[in-house]
Structure 1
Amino acid sequence: MAADSSFPYTPTPGKLEEFLEKLQGLGVPTRIDQQYLGAVGFTSSNSRPFIPLMKKIGLLDGSGKPTELYAKGLRGGESGRALLAAGIRAGYDNVFQTYSDAYRRPDAELAAFFKSHSDLDDRKVGLAVKTFKTVCKFGNFNSVAGAAGNVDEGDEDDTNEQAEVTKSRRQRQHGSNGSGSVVINVNIALSVDATSDAAVYDAFFAAMAKHLKGLTDGGA
């Protein structure tokens, strides 16, 4: 048997989409089971796979009770779509490990993956792919990784800090202290023959002090 046969599918993906859309406008039930499906107008046996699918992507727990993802994701409006995308990624993690953009991959590629990781026949594989693509319509997968071009306050602070570091580095490289003046560092290396006569060293440092004083006084 193949590695993973957990690809719920429904013969009516269109009805699945209709069902999930309807749930967004209803109150959160205590439990979703076949009786609940019938109560909201989905009496066909083709609707039964809706429940294991919702469990797979984290909308229901093992007993069929709606989870926090159900309340904040499925019914959370536009902001909830990012949460729902995360739930779909977790439920189909083996698919997304192979195709990070599985939600927009061609059906043929997904069908090949589903078939190699399940014991489904070609017809059921096709339905499993359509079921997967249907639930993906409810997730915002771009928001999971962060929308491009959006910078929050923390990122802006980091950007400003980096700009200051870059500015400081450039000032050091060009010898500027930031106020328009230029700082010039001069290194002078002098050597004296080794001697035990301390007077020689005294005379040497006295002469050095005299000349350095002349430089700092502007040559006066």
Structure 2
Amino acid sequence: MALTMSYLTSMKNVEAIFNSMLSARAPEKFTTRFLEDLGFKSSNDRLFIGVLKALGFIDSNGVPQQRYFDFLDQSQSKRVVAEGIKEAYEDLFNLRKDAQNMSNEEVKNKLKTLTQGQKGDRVIDSMALTFKTLCNYADWTETSPKSIPITNSENKPNDQGKMSTSTTYKSGSTSMELHYNIQIHLPETTNMAVYDAIFQSLKKHLM
């Protein structure tokens, strides 16, 4: 089951804690003491350590992982959080690939199903609010490619059933030509119409 049971009981400091982490060096271990040094001394804030473990920022001992270090790059911080959310709440995203866009009520209903009714309403409420608060902080936009194709792809099958593809890209004042080789395993048959159908389909969908 890929659904974290970690949750917060207060959401007001989520963004502030993330921002404080960005302005501080990663500790050897992310402990309650370190969180207090960042200025968050409430017992409610301590639950954030469990959330960081669920997001893959720190291991079970509080040692920062690669995702923590990736997060410190402010050009991608919120996208890194989104990656962690997808892993921590994988079961939600299996039910709906854009789970981050679900309403709070929808999230609660899904969580009730996923936890098979073993969690009380108060816990489900906190789990849902934690998920929504994290999602609201995260950046869900995909990185846009810097280059766009300016010529059609040319696909040519050869005798071995391989497809060679050539595409030219242009970005600014420079151009770049990329070549792709696609290998196709053809079924054994004496009916050439089967091969003709396969190559016609490839030409239709890969052009």
Structure-2-length-normalised TM-score: 0.66
Q: Write the distance in 2 (CA, Å) between the matches of 1:121 and 1:46.
A: 19
The amino acid across from 1:114 in the alignment is L
Structure 1 stretches of 4+ moved >6 Å: none
Change (3 A) 1:25 1:51: same
The amino acid across from 1:160 in the alignment is T
> What SS does the aligned partner of 1:78 have?
coil
Q: Does the 8 Å CA contact 2:3/2:89 hold for their aligned counterparts?
A: no
Q: Higher Cα Rg: structure 1 or 2?
A: 1
The Cα shift of 1:57 comes to: 0.8
Q: Does the 8 Å CA contact 1:30/1:65 hold for their aligned counterparts?
A: yes
The amino acid across from 2:131 in the alignment is F
The Cα shift of 1:139 comes to: 2.2
| Residue of structure 2 in register with 1:175 after alignment | none
The amino acid across from 2:136 in the alignment is K
Q: Does the 8 Å CA contact 1:60/1:70 hold for their aligned counterparts?
A: yes
| Residue of structure 1 in register with 2:191 after alignment | none
Matches within 5 A, 1:53-92: 53-73=51-71, 75-92=72-89
Give the count of matched residue pairs: 153
Q: Write the distance in 1 (CA, Å) between the matches of 2:60 and 2:70.
A: 18
The Cα shift of 1:80 comes to: 3.2
Q: Write the distance in 2 (CA, Å) between the matches of 1:90 and 1:83.
A: 11
Q: Write the distance in 2 (CA, Å) between the matches of 1:100 and 1:59.
A: 22
The Cα shift of 1:82 comes to: 2.2
Q: Deviations over 1:51-72 (max 9, x none)?
A: 1110111111121111111121
The amino acid across from 2:108 in the alignment is A
Q: State the identity as a percent.
A: 23
| Residue of structure 2 in register with 1:96 after alignment | 93
Q: Does the 8 Å CA contact 1:85/1:136 hold for their aligned counterparts?
A: yes
Q: Does the 8 Å CA contact 1:31/1:65 hold for their aligned counterparts?
A: yes
> What SS does the aligned partner of 2:76 have?
helix
The Cα shift of 1:31 comes to: 0.9
| Residue of structure 2 in register with 1:134 after alignment | 133
Q: Write the distance in 2 (CA, Å) between the matches of 1:139 and 1:107.
A: 16
| Residue of structure 1 in register with 2:170 after alignment | none
Q: Write the distance in 1 (CA, Å) between the matches of 2:42 and 2:8.
A: 11
Q: Write the distance in 1 (CA, Å) between the matches of 2:33 and 2:60.
A: 17
The amino acid across from 2:151 in the alignment is N
The Cα shift of 1:79 comes to: 2.4
Question: CA-atom RMSD, angstroms?
Answer: 2.1
Q: Write the distance in 2 (CA, Å) between the matches of 1:137 and 1:20.
A: 13
The Cα shift of 1:4 comes to: 7.1
Q: Write the distance in 1 (CA, Å) between the matches of 2:3 and 2:101.
A: 22
Q: Does the 8 Å CA contact 2:56/2:65 hold for their aligned counterparts?
A: yes
Instruction: Name the structure where helix makes up a greater proportion of residues.
Output: 1
Instruction: Name the structure where strand makes up a greater proportion of residues.
Output: 2
| Residue of structure 2 in register with 1:8 after alignment | 6
Q: Does the 8 Å CA contact 1:7/1:114 hold for their aligned counterparts?
A: no
Q: Deviations over 1:10-59 (max 9, x none)?
A: 11111223211211111111111112222222222112211111011111
The amino acid across from 1:18 in the alignment is A
The Cα shift of 1:161 comes to: 4.1
Q: Does the 8 Å CA contact 1:60/1:67 hold for their aligned counterparts?
A: yes
